[in-house]
Structure 1
Amino acid sequence: MEADLSGTIVAMISLGCSKNLVDSEVMLGKLLEAGAVLTPSAHHADILLINTCGFISPAKKESIDTILSAIHRRDTVAKKQKIVVTGCLFQRYGEELSTLLPEVDLFLGLDEVPKIDIHLKQLLDKNSDCKKNPSLNISPRFIPDFDHPRFQLTPLHFGYIKIAEGCNHPCTFCIIPKIRGRYRSRSIKSVVAEAESMIQRGIKEIILISQDTTFYGQDLSPDRSSLLVDLLDSLEAMDGDFWIRLLYTHPAHWTTSLIEKFSNSSKITKYIDIPIQHISDPILQRMQRKTEESYIQELLSEIRSKVKNAAIRTTLIVGFPGESEEDFQKLYSFISTFKFDRLGVFPYSAEEGTKAEKMIGKIPEAIKKRRAKKIMELQKQIVEEKNKGLVGRSLKVLVDAPGLARTEWDAPDIDCLVHVPYSLPAGHFAEVKIIGFKEYDLIAQ
């Protein structure tokens, strides 16, 4: 069943990660098919759609503040506007959120994404029995595939493909499995069809995402650990000059064949995004990461030795409950020795409903922030040394905007930039020579 929304003006605010962005693109694509008119102006929309994030405390606060701002704007400027809230925040808090914010006209869970047009039509239909809070599936099953239309929100030269949804990991600090449900992979056929469509539109960088891209296919059968390599084989066989980038690879699921694929491919960027979270065994055990120090060290060393000219990026959590000064110093020493090319660190944030929330050994906020700051100061020194080694080299870059580009070692909105001449056209590859750097960014001609 399809709804007719001809002439209905819709604005969207999309919050959170790239995985949430794909859901936003699907909703907008569905609304366009139904005849809706999209506008970037929240003031002039008949319906304001807010796709929220509910992952960690700062993201939750941003989502709540955005909803409250929308309610205030409607009360003062657009009194007839309907406000619709969807995404992870409502999926996580359900009835509690709808009770807290009665001014919102409609709340929708993640499984309602492909039916967004029907829900909005019912909301506008005065004779409809539209429920303010349709039944919320606490274990969502929806995953965007090639059958779902999408309205691209990224620049025209790169886009995301969500190859799977949900997560099976028991990490004690993370709420995502409870929000997004169990891991579920798309078929290779579906992913390749979407990628081919993107290449035909002129996309220069395809970014594969999921909660854990290295788990891809293992939900279909325990012996399908090579399915990700099969997918990459199919993608790199497509004609064209483009990059393939993988984000969010869990260290527990890397395989020898995947390392070989990164090493031998000319289209897969030599960008290894592998969040280890920590290196000290007591903390890894409390986090339930399914990895240990010796394994992580061996894996990272193997990747660095076999995938030539690769940049390895990781994400860390400091101040996890029970993290001793010895644990932190072990992490600091490892970073100093291994020298990650890219690194992000977060002070631990206790999230409701996680096992870690109830753990003893809480670390004071001041200590958590001090430890995070110390690691980033170290990382800044490491990157400075690495950037010195790039001066004088010629590199292939993808120009994102006039004057700004990225190497294959840098994901959009996450990593470093290359400052290039404004004459280079956006959305195209270029060959540049590095002549200097400023903190994390490179300068090229």
Structure 2
Amino acid sequence: MPRTRLLYLYPSDLSDELIDAILASKVPYFDLSLQHVSKAHLRRMRRWGDGERFLKRIADIRSREADATFRSNFIVGYPGETEDDHDQLLSFVREASLDWCGFFEYSPEEGTYAVNLPDQVPAGLMHERIAELRELQDAITASKRDELIDAVVEVLVDEPGVGRSHREAPQIDGIIRVPTALAVGSFATVRIADAQGPDLVAEGADANDGSAQGADHAG
């Protein structure tokens, strides 16, 4: 199996042994289910961790592998989220400089723990907070993609003209546009010529030996 990618990892389960295994897989991609970073707010959500602890873990991984890629998702407007909680999340997003982030508005669901909690966040305020976070992250992602211009990377060709390196998970991240002559399911070495928002444009491909059989196995 030439490429294995683990998705939706709980930070409490991210042991040194698991980090070593991910790095050894040659796909140093860490999809961390953080949800928020304010310690008080995470406890309201009945979740583990805090922003400082997350930042230390991310820095540790980057010290081991400079090309490590990070994704996370965050819930905005969970009941009880204060302006201070939101400011902590903004600061974390800015400092952590993750490659990819998803932000989702809290949606009450009947039968869940949170549906009857006090201090529900008004919809308008949720919209404002999520827009602020997305604007910040879009700029971070664009900057990181720009940094890859002129880099030589290995891609897995998913479909004609579309490939992914270890930095792009299927369906949720950007893509790399590659020459259409490259065979689907093959690996190729390409040079990044341009960045267009979350997507990259590659040229000068050399097909590598062996086929991936079209698979980027996720778990």
Fold match by TM threshold 0.5: yes
1:432 to 183, 190, 208: 190
Match of 2:132 in 1: 374
Q: Structure 2 residue aligned with 1:324, among 65, 82, 94?
A: 82
The corresponding residue for 2:199 is: 441
Contact 1:245 1:268 survives alignment (8 Å): no
User: Structure 2 stretches of 5 or more lacking a match?
Assistant: 204-219
Q: Does 387-396 or 253-262 show the bigger shift?
A: 253-262
Structure of greater Rg: 1
Aligned partners of 1:396 and 1:407 also within 8 Å = yes
Q: Which residue of 2 aligns with 1:399?
A: 157
Q: Which amino acid aligns with 1:253?
A: D
Tell me how far 1:337 sits from its aligned partner.
1.2
Matches within 5 A, 1:230-241: none
Q: Residue in 1 aligned with 2:64?
A: 306
The aligned amino acid for 1:278 is H
Asked whether 1:243 is paired with 2:3, we answer: yes
Contact 2:73 2:103 in 1 (8 A): yes
Does residue 1:271 correspond to 2:29, yes or no? Answer: yes
What secondary structure sits across from 1:340 in the alignment?
Answer: coil
Q: Deviations over 1:100-138 (max 9, x none)?
A: xxxxxxxxxxxxxxxxxxxxxxxxxxxxxxxxxxxxxxx
The whole-number CA distance in structure 2 between the counterparts of 1:300 and 1:335 is: 12
Task: Measure the CA separation in 1 of the matches of 2:61 and 2:47.
Answer: 19
Equivalent in the alignment of 1:255: 15
- SS of 1:275's equivalent? strand
The residue identity in structure 1 corresponding to 2:46 is Q
Give the TM-score normalised by the residue count of structure 2. Answer: 0.89
Corresponding letter in the other structure for 2:188:
A
Distance between the aligned counterparts of 2:27 and 2:132, measured in 1?
30
Q: Is the CA contact (8 Å cut-off) linking 2:168 and 2:174 kept in structure 1?
A: yes
Counting matched residue pairs gives 203
**1:390 aligned to 2:135?**
no
Q: Does 1:342 align with 2:114?
A: no
Residue 288 of structure 1 is matched in structure 2 by: 46
Secondary structure of the structure 1 residue equivalent to 2:36: coil
Question: In structure 2, how many angstroms separate the alpha carbons of the residues matched to 1:261 and 1:427?
Answer: 24
Question: How far 1:404 sits from its partner (Å)?
Answer: 0.9
Cα separation, 1, equivalents of 2:109 and 2:58: 29
Q: CA deviation at 1:304?
A: 2.1
What is the CA distance between 1:257 and its match in structure 2? Answer: 1.4
2:37 and 2:49 in contact (8 A); partners too: no
Q: Structure 2 CA distance, aligned partners of 1:405 and 1:442?
A: 10
Q: How far apart, CA to CA, are the structure 1 residues paired with 2:102 and 2:83?
A: 20
Q: What amino acid is aligned across from residue 317 of structure 1 in structure 2?
A: I
- Alpha-carbon spacing, 1:256–1:268, altered in 2? closer, same or farther (3 Å): same
TM-score between both structures, scaled by the size of structure 1 = 0.44
CA distance in 2, matches of 1:394, 1:261: 24
Percent identity reads 35
Equivalent position of 2:207 in the other structure: none
Structure 1: unaligned runs, 5 residues or longer: 1-198, 200-241
Which one-letter code corresponds to 2:146 in the other structure? K
Higher relative contact order structure (alpha carbons within 8 Å, sequence separation ≥ 6): 2
| Matched letter for residue 22 of structure 2 | F
Structure 1 residue 297 displacement after superposition = 2.3
- The answer (yes or no) to whether the contact 2:51–2:92 under 8 Å persists in 1 is no
The match for 1:360 is 118
Q: Map 1:61-76 to 2 at 5 A.
A: none
Counterpart of 1:260, as a letter, is D
SS of equivalent to 1:398: strand
1:325 CA drift (Å): 1.1
Which letter maps to 2:10? H
Aligned AA for 1:319? Answer: G
Question: 1:149-298 counterparts in 2 under 5 A?
Answer: 242-263=2-23, 265=24, 267-298=25-56
* Paired letter, 1:279: V
Residue aligning to 1:128:
none
Which structure 1 residue ranges, 4+ long, deviate > 6 Å from structure 2?
none
Q: Which has the higher helix share?
A: 1
Aligned-residue offset at 1:312: 0.7
Q: Does structure 2 conserve the Cα–Cα contact (< 8 Å) formed by 1:262 and 1:307?
A: no
Shift in Å at residue 363 of structure 1? 0.7
User: Quick one: distance in 2 between partners of 1:277 and 1:255?
Assistant: 19
